[in-house]
């Protein structure tokens, strides 16, 4: 009611909502849910009493032994985590979400949100060009999941494109892992030793400087590597011929597919099926793997 209540859950997965007033809510064992509407509300959770979630219509900081926070209503309010691995979700307004010390998952929802992961390997969900992510140096290995075109900011390592729209992803100076969605994506690595995986459809992957790795699953995939941009590797699930400035090829999965090199010194590795590996002009190293493989070195001192 509207008075000051004490609500005690017990052993199950309880939902506690004090209503108006300065309420004390004690979930006990189980995965409990708490509804907060006042700064005077108190939640008590002990250690090892389940995975609990707070739904708050006001600014809220998770207390001890509370894992997850969802901001409700339509007001621009803020949510802050604790030392645990928190999941913090914003509402449709502009929120500031702060993770804290754990491996946190921050999802601002609609609105121009600011997400600050803090220490730990944090995950961020982006749906607006107005979303801001802040990560400081040496605060873990962090991942962004984006439904829009996205360029990784400072101190962010990994990017996954979500949804079904043809969108693009760009890395930074770190060693990035960039993964596309099922549409046609352009993935650009940047300066580090990057891993680019377009996912389904016709993807364009541009590694840039560094020793980059490319994952190919379609004949329509395009890899662009310029001269003197590192020693690069392609991992292919289909027949594949190395393009310009690509050094290494590994055939994956279990289908009998073939791999062909270029004029460089290539390393070509087959899978467990019967492969035909063709080196080309350089000093090539061919390893068929399991299966009855045919290896054709071509010109050069081949192994």
pLDDT along the chain (303 residues), means of 10: 89 94 95 97 97 99 99 98 99 98 97 98 98 98 99 99 98 99 98 96 97 98 98 99 99 98 98 98 97 96 96
CB 281, CB 263: distance < 8 Å? yes
The model's pTM: 0.95
Which pLDDT score, from 0 to 100, does residue 20 have? 87
Which pLDDT score, from 0 to 100, does residue 2 have? 79
Which pLDDT score, from 0 to 100, does residue 3 have? 82
In the numeric block, which tokens belong to residue 231? Answer: 């020693």
Which pLDDT score, from 0 to 100, does residue 221 have? 98
């Amino acid at each position: 009611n509207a008075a000051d209540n004490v609500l005690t859950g017990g052993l199950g997965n309880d939902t506690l909502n004090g209503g108006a007033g300065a309420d004390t809510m004690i979930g006990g064992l189980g995965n409990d849910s708490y509804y907060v509407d006042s700064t005077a509300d108190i939640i008590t959770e002990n250690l090892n009493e389940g995975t609990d979630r707070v739904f708050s219509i006001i600014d809220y900081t998770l207390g001890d032994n509370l894992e997850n926070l969802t901001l409700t209503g339509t007001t621009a309010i803020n949510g802050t985590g604790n030392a645990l691995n928190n999941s913090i979700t914003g509402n449709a307004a502009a929120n500031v979400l702060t993770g804290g010390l754990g491996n946190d998952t921050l999802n601002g929802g609609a609105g121009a949100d600011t997400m600050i992961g803090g220490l730990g390997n944090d995950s961020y969900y982006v749906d607006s060009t107005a979303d801001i992510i802040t990560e400081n140096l040496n605060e873990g290995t962090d991942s962004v999941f984006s439904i829009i075109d996205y360029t990784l900011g400072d101190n962010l390592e990994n990017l996954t494109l979500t949804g079904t729209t043809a969108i693009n992803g760009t890395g930074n100076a770190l060693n990035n892992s960039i993964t596309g969605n099922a549409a046609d994506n352009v993935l650009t690595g940047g300066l580090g030793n990057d891993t680019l995986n377009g996912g389904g459809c016709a993807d364009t992957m541009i590694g840039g400087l560094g020793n980059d790795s490319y994952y190919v699953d379609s004949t329509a995939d395009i890899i662009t590597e310029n001269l003197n941009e590192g020693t690069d590797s392609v991992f292919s699930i289909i027949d594949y011929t190395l393009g310009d400035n690509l050094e290494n090829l590994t055939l994956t999965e279990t289908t009998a597919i073939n791999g062909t090199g270029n004029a460089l010194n290539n390393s070509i590795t087959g899978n467990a099926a019967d492969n035909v590996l063709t080196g080309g002009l350089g000093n090539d190293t061919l390893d068929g793997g399991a299966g009855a493989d045919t290896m054709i070195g071509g010109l050069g001192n081949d192994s």
